[in-house]
Every structure is written in structure tokens, then in C-alpha cells.
Amino acid sequence: MEFNLKIWRQKDARSQGGFIDYNLKGVSGEMSFLEMIDYLNKTLIEGGEEPVAFEHDCREGICGSCSLYINGRPHGPEDLIATCELRMTRFKDGDTIVIEPWRAKSFPVLKDLIVDRYAFDKIMQAGGFISVNTGAAPEANSIPVSKEAADEAYDAAICIGCGACVAACKNSSAMLFVAAKVSQLSLLPQGKAETAKRARAMVEKMDELGFGSCTNTTACETECPKGISMAHIARLNREFLLAGLKS
Amino acid sequence: MSKLKSMIPDGPLEEKWNNHKNSVKLVSPANKNKLDIIVVGTGLSGSAAASTLGELGYNVKSFCFQDSPRRAHSVAAQGGMNAAKNYKNDGDSVYRLFKDIIKGGDYRAREAYVYRAAQVSNQSIDQLVAAGVPFAREYSGYLDNRSFGGVQVSRTFYAKGQTGQQCLLGAYSGLNRQIARGKVTMYTRRDMLDVVIVDGKARGIITRNLVSGEIERHSAHAVVLATGGYSTIYYLSTLAVGSNASAAWAAHRKGAFFANPSFVQIHPTSLPQLNDFQAKLTLMSESLRNDGRIWVPKKKGDTRHPNEIKEDERDYYLERRYPAFGNLVPRDVASRAAKERCDAGYGVGETGLSVYLDFSDSIARHGKETIKSRYENLFEMYQKITGIDPYNEPMRIYPAGHYTMGGLWVDYNLMTTIPGLFAIGESNFSDHGANRLGAGSLMQCAGDGYFILPVTIGNYLADEIKTPRISADISEFREAEQAAREKLQNLMAIKGTQTVNSFHRRLGRIMWDYCGMVKNEEGLKKAMKMLAGLKKEFWSDLRIPGTMDEINQELERAVRVADFFELGQLMCQDALSREESCGAHFREESQTPEGETQRIDSRFSYVSAWEYREKDKKHVLHKEELTFENVEIQERSYK
């Protein structure tokens, strides 16, 4: 197969970037999307050019490294997958494919398709944990957790921290990311004690780092590769309101 | 010749760890504040260690090459984490877990280590549950367990097929708490290039800032490596493509012995290779073997659709060869059995290099919903990649390079042969002998990071309380920095024509063919020659575009592959010297008439610890003899 690729190239954080067109022949339908870029890079390097920088690691949709905006959608045209799980069979011979990095003020571009997502870690540092020291834990089965609560917490906990929710949101809000963690930990008895403090601290940090506000467009839920539900945002809002009342 | 001191405490097996904890030196809270510790790697063991050391009051500097500590490769562990809770009341105990690991490792691990790992496993579960890890629950609200390859009890804690992700995020959350407290300083996007030795002790590391390209010096009173495994040496493996051996190899070149380098686990249930462009092999959790039956057609070269092949035309070869364990035999046994059938011409798929993993019986017995609840995300992953719906048609699987039992040699304190340099998790060699059992990796990582290292490193640091903060502006650091810079400059200066990946692919093929699932003397010798030739070509024809002073992913890869050439040689040398088969190490020359591994305890009941000698650039073998006093050594039979 042959593709016309329009790829965002940017030397570094300080430089201006722009789209460069590449015509790539000899792509196999069996390739994953990232293997297609590997192949492009091989031809670029062998032709004396610089390869396209992009992030990837596990290549099975769990590490959350990959972060491409493909034809105007985070992680590309298919639902419920990360970029690394996208396969070239999804495209037609001769297609034009536009590839960009995440676009969000809080995720500055470092080079080509690589953005800096450390803001997510900073939000987690503000309160995305249960304050239990090593050794202080009680016997595991002394804290029964209903299966329903455990399953719901799990559904929130599977966030891979890729940032697609932010990239999808017109306001670059990180609400789904924050809500997933607040929801997970407030559903579990172990995490309940700190819920109010946690919700407030994480939301404040999110605002401070320049993420926008949530206007319930549901774009985040649509583009989340793990299908994390907007219902968690509702739970976060509730906890945040309660936190306000308590303070 | 330095002697290997394993530092195993006296006393009965079950008392050793307690005795040790009671006798190690302690560091007072006021003094902890004056001591700095570097932890390299933020997987489950690294994050657990960094956060726990921060809680204790040490000043911790934590490093990872990823953009966030949450992405370390523990995140990809699927099936679960073992602990000896005996919640199922099925006869499990610390002793039984210990015995299973020793047997699973084919009697090539130290008793005292393994027993300790089994002992602390229960605490690790407590800790992770308290940290908010949503392990699977029964309707009663209590924790659920499942069984896993190589054992006959249900002791595996799990969070669907994403247990590693959940455990890692639990440890990561603790790490974040300490970062917020200022007790851990986080350095992301850093590759460790070297360890710095001052007066014989590890006192810091040299890193490359992967964004600015800057070569940096970081100093501390002790250094902990939690840098994972190296089966990416095969190019195609189940590991994240960034996983590498370079930090461990740098330590090795500075004097840390490398133990059992050829002990690599080939995982039986990976997706088969589809094409030549493939960048990695996707793992399908071995938990699938609980409900899936593995088979190939009885007829050679049978190309019919699997659903058209009738029951009596199928060879359930694991059930046939190993009636007691059937599809739940350990990973090495299952892998070799698949290779045996494919090599004999019974493999399926276009390449003939795969076997079926069939769920139809389980679906008929338990219902689709039950199977779905157990494996939903794995089935989805399989369907996404292959387009085949495993609810209606068997999966196709094949073995792939997975976990490295080999790693840096450590003593009972998890210290390498370099004083002050510790290695934890997969980067050390300690617990799994010649083969790791399923759900044992998370168990070891959590145990090392949360409960073992924080005790043992204190014993070392207690003698360092009078050592002032280490300056990075001394000749040892300057020289190490310069040497690291020169290595990178040398790579950049080659200016040849071929990409790093093209070399890595060829290197991986050599290792897979001759130092993979099955090895023999002739092949290993051939591989060493081929590696030397390819290494020469690498150093004369590699092309790295760009410069050192920017994000340069080709340079990052080149450093890793350059080290793989050296590690590959050592793996072959180690495999060659061990003229027996044990666990995942299968030498064709040493097999039973039935084609099973044949251990030779009289000659090889030892840990091979390799020393790198700078003066003649040679490796010297040191043997640490293994003794078994608490288990009876048996032929490892799963029949």
C-alpha cells in the first residue's frame, strides 16, 4: 500500500513546527500504525534524513506512551485503542494520513510528535494516593470491599495516563484523568478517609497547571482508549462539592 | 579472585529473615536525613523501594528513561501476583510456595532467598491492597485467587489481566506522595550511562538527559538498580521495546558480577510473529491456560480451519505428555513442547510456527459470560490484533522471549559485588533459578522493593553516617562523565549506512536461533563468531542522524544495542559452560530419552557469576555452590 503522510515536524520546544509531506510506498496491511512509522523512519535514515521522533514503549496499549493525533482524532479512527494498537488495515491504499502530536497548552511539544506530559504526574503528586506507609497496612482481607465497588474502582483505575482526554477536549481539560483517580480511591474503603482533601488538591493542581474547565462535551469519554466513563466526573464533582462544604 | 559471599544468615530456614532483621544495623531517623540514595528504574520494585526509602527519611533520587515513572514495564505484567495467604484453604503455605519456586526454578536458586521471598509475599499483598490496588474480589467482598502455571493451588491475586499495571500504579502513587513531600526527587527521561565508583564504593551515576542531551553527574551514598530484564536482546520479545540491559551492563563493566546470564524464560503464550516489520511480540497472559486447551492437528500440515478439525483429530500434546499438570505445566516445558510440535511439522498458521489455544470446552462448561469475566481484555486484545474472535475460534500462539532469570549477582542483602550498589527486581538474578513461575515476578518486585531492600540497605548505610554528602565534582565523576561522552561520540562518529534497528534485528535473530529455547555447543560457538562479526559491522557501518545535544532516539537505541552485543557474547559463553539442561536452559546434549531437561547436579549445582576483567577484557567464571537442606532434590516432573 501507498500513503501520503502529513506529519508535524518540530526541531525542539523552542522552534516553530510545521507539516511535512511524505509519500510512503510498500506499506503492508499487516503493519501496525507505529510499525508503519518505523518503516518510514528506516527510509528516512537510509536516505540521510532525520527520523520522526515519537513516543512508544510497550506497543500493546498499556504503558500509555503513544500519543498521536491521527486524522484529527487522538489515537486515530478506531475506538477504544491506543495508537500502538491501530493497524494499517484500517486505512485504504492511497489515503492521506495527518499525524500530529497532542495539542494542549499543558503538554508542550518537545520534538516532532513528542509532548511533555509531566503535568499529569504533578496532578498525581498533589493527592493521587492513599497515605499509607510501607508496613502500616492491615491484613488484606480485613478490609472487605464489595465486588461491585472493586469492579467499579477497577474500571476507573485502568487509566493509562496517555492524555487523549486532554487532547480531545476543546478546553484541554484533564477532568476525566483526575476523576478516574479520585473515583477509584473514593470507591474503596481504604481511600475514603482522604477523599475530600484529595479531590480538592488534585482539582486545584489541575487548574494551576493550565488545564481548562470541563463543559461536559463527552469528547474525552469518546476518545479514551480504555473507555473510562464520564460518570466518574460526576462522582468527582460530588466529592469536590462536599469538600467545599466541609472546608 | 574475589570470593562470592552470599551472606546468608545462620539458623533454620524459617528463622533466617527474622534473625537477620533483628541483627542488622539501624540508622537513626536523624541520620537518615543526611544520607542520599539513588534508585534507577521506576517499575514495581524501583517505585516501591524509592517510596519506602523516602518514607523512612532518606533523601532519594529516582530515575527513569520514560516520560513518567508510571510507564515502566511492570505495567505490562498481566496475570497476577502470588502470595502464600492460603485464602482458598487448599493447603497452601509459605513453605509450599517456597518449594514450588525452588522446584519451578529447577533447583538453581538459593533456598534462603526464595524462602524469604515467599515469607514477605503476604505483606506485599497487604501493602498493595492498602494502597488502593483493586484486586479481584468475590461477591463476599473478600479477595479472589486463581491458579497459575506450574502449581496445584490457587494463590494468585489478580486484577483482571492487568495486575502489573494496577500494582505498579499502586507503587507509583506511593512514590508520588514522597515526591510531594520532597523526600524523593524525580528525574524522568534519563538514561543511566555509568555507575561511579569512589574508593571501591558505588557513589553515583552518570546519566544522559534525553531531552537536552546533557551528560549529568548524580551522587549519593548508595545506588540501587531496579532496571528490569533484557530479553529485548532477541529484538522481538514480549518486553516493551525500550527495555534494555545498559544500566546493569555498565555496573557489570565496573565490577558487578553478572549471574546466570543465559537463563532466559521463553513465554509459551505470545502471539506469533506476523511479518518482518514487527517491532514486538504481544504476550497473552498464561492465565489463559487455566481455561484454554492447547493442541495441534494430529495430521502433519493440516490446513483446515480449526473448527473443522474434529476432537479425535486433535493432539492435545500437553495433556498427552503431562497428564498431572496438563495445560498448566511451567512455561519452559510448555514452550519447548510447542517448538517440538512445530519443528516436527504439526504447527499451524501460514508459517507453521504456532499452535492453538482453544476455549470452546471451557465456554461450553462455564458459559461465555464466566470466561468473559476472567479474560475479557485479553480476548479483546487478541481480536484487535488478529481480527479473530477467540470466543468462536481458537487463538494461535507461539513462544517468545520474555523474562530474564539471569541478572546482576547479589548477596542476601541484595548488594552486588560492588559495595554500595544494590540490584532489585528483575535486574538481579536471585529468586527464580533457571525458570520463573507465573505470577512470581510481581511477587519478587514488591517484596524486594517494599520489604527487603529498605532493611538491608540500612545495614550498609549504618556505616556511612559519618560520610559527608558525596560531591559530584571530583575526579571519579569527571572521568566517568568523560568516558560516557566519548562512548556516545564514538557511536555518532561512525556515520555509516545502516540503522540501529537493522542491526538489532540481525543480532536478535542470532540470539533466538542459537541461544534461545534450545541450545547446543556447535550453535553457541557459531553464534559467538557471528556476534563478533556483526558487532564489527555495527561499529563501522551504523548511521545515527542528528546530534548528541537533542532528543535523539536513534542514539538511545544505539547505546542499548552496543551493550547487547557484549551481553549476547556472555549469554552464549554462559550457556556453553553449563553443559546441562535445567529449567529454561535447554542444552540438546543433556536431555532424557523423552526429550525433557536433564540436570547434572554433580557438576552444575551452582550459580555462575561472571566477572568482567578490564585489564584483559575477559570474563572469568566464579561458581557459587548451591546446597539444598530443606527440599528434596527431585527430577522436576510434571507428568
Give the residue-averaged pLDDT of A214-237: 96
Give the residue-averaged pLDDT of A87-91: 93
Q: Testing the interface with B: which of A44, A58, A113, A116 to mutate, by most B Cβ within 10 A?
A: A58
Grouping H, G, I as helix, E, B as strand and the rest as coil, residue B55 is helix
Give the residue-averaged pLDDT of A3-16: 97
Q: Is B146 a catalytic site residue?
A: no
Residues ≥6 apart with Cβ < 8 Å to B12: none
A–B interface: beta-carbon pairs under 8 A: 217
Grouping H, G, I as helix, E, B as strand and the rest as coil, residue B229 is coil
Distance between CA atoms of residues B356 and B452, nearest Å: 41
Give the residue-averaged pLDDT of B133-142: 97
Interface of A with B in 220-239 (CB under 8 A): none
Q: Got the DSSP string for B364-389? A: HHH-HHHHHHHHHHHHHHHHHHH---
Q: Which fold has domain A3-111?
A: Ubiquitin-like (UB roll) (3.10.20)
Contacts 24+ apart (CB under 8 A), B595-602: B595/B336, B595/B340, B596/B333, B596/B637, B597/B106, B597/B332, B597/B636, B599/B106, B599/B107, B599/B635, B599/B636, B601/B107, B601/B633
Distance between CA atoms of residues B553 and A55, nearest Å: 9
**Do the Cβ atoms of B240 and A57 come within 8 Å?**
yes
| Longest CA–CA separation in chain B, Å | 75
Give whole-number Cα distances, A31 to A88, B275, B319, B382, in Å.
6, 8, 35, 15
Q: At what angle do helices B111-130 and B163-181 cross, to 10 degrees?
A: 70
Distance between CA atoms of residues B313 and B309, nearest Å: 6
**Residue B396: its H or E element:** strand B395-404
Q: Decide if A88 touches B, using CB distance below 8 A.
A: no
- Percent of chain B clearing pLDDT 70 (strictly above): 99
pLDDT grade, residue B613 (50/70/90)?
A: very high
Distance between CA atoms of residues B511 and B386, nearest Å: 27
Nearest to B297 by CA among B308, B312, B313, B320: B313
pLDDT of B2 over the 60 cut: no
Q: Where are the domains of chain A?
A: 3-111, 118-246
Dihedral-angle region of residue B540 (phi above 0 means left; psi in -120 to 50 means alpha; beta otherwise): alpha
Give whole-number Cα distances, B571 to B193, B245, B638, in Å.
21, 12, 28
Give the residue-averaged pLDDT of B96-107: 96
pLDDT grade, residue B514 (50/70/90)?
A: very high
Least confident piece of the model among A174-183, B311-320, B375-384, B617-626: B375-384
Distance between CA atoms of residues A73 and A161, nearest Å: 17
Which chain B residue lies closest to A65 (C-alpha atoms)? B71
**Do the Cβ atoms of B177 and A140 come within 8 Å?**
no
pLDDT tens by residue, B189-202: 999 999 999 999 99
**Do the Cβ atoms of A57 and B68 come within 8 Å?**
no
**Do the Cβ atoms of A35 and B277 come within 8 Å?**
yes
Least confident piece of the model among A3-7, B567-571, B630-634: B630-634
Amino acid identity of B547?
T
Q: Which domains does chain B have, with CATH numbers?
A: 13-266+408-464 (3.50.50.60), 267-402 (3.90.700.10), 476-625 (1.20.58.100)
Q: Decide if B324 touches A, using CB distance below 8 A.
A: no
Q: How many CB atoms lie within 10 A of CB B226?
A: 33
Nearest to B556 by CA among B511, B500, B479, B496: B500
Q: Decide if B283 touches A, using CB distance below 8 A.
A: yes
Distance between CA atoms of residues B204 and B481, nearest Å: 11
b/e sequence A178-197, b meaning 16+ C-beta within 10 Å: bbbbbbbbbbbebbeebbbe
Q: Which fold has domain A118-246?
A: Fumarate Reductase Iron-sulfur Protein; Chain B, domain 2 (1.10.1060)
Predicted pLDDT at B1: 44
Give whole-number Cα distances, B382 to B377, B386, B388, B394, in Å.
9, 6, 7, 11
Q: How many CB atoms lie within 10 A of CB B17?
A: 22
pLDDT tens by residue, B369-423: 999 988 888 898 898 888 899 999 999 999 999 999 999 999 999 999 999 999 9
> For residue B264, how far is the Cα from the chain centroid?
8
- φ, ψ for residue B326 (rounded to 5)? 55, -125
3-state secondary structure B249-264: HHHHHCCCCEECCCCE
**Predicted TM-score (pTM) above 0.95:** yes
pLDDT of B352 over the 60 cut: yes
Predicted pLDDT at B143: 98
pLDDT tens by residue, B55-67: 999 999 999 999 9
Give the residue-averaged pLDDT of A100-120: 97
Domains A3-111 and A118-246 share a fold: no
Question: pLDDT averaged over chain B?
Answer: 96
Amino acid identity of B8?
I
Give the residue-averaged pLDDT of B570-599: 96
- φ, ψ for residue B194 (rounded to 5)? -160, 160
Give the residue-averaged pLDDT of B250-279: 94
Which chain A residue lies closest to B78 (C-alpha atoms)? A62
Dihedral-angle region of residue B396 (phi above 0 means left; psi in -120 to 50 means alpha; beta otherwise): beta
pLDDT tens by residue, B15-48: 999 999 999 999 999 999 999 999 999 999 999 9
Beta bridge partners of B340: none
B134: which chain A residues are within 8 Å (Cβ-Cβ)? 145, 150-151, 153-154, 157, 184, 188
Q: Testing the interface with B: which of A31, A37, A57 to mutate, by most B Cβ within 10 A?
A: A57
Considering only the beta carbons, identify the residue of A57, A143, A146 that sits closest to B129. A143
Nearest to B157 by CA among B142, B146, B171, B168: B146
Distance between CA atoms of residues B245 and B427, nearest Å: 8
HSE (CB half, 13 Å, CA atoms) of A175? 26
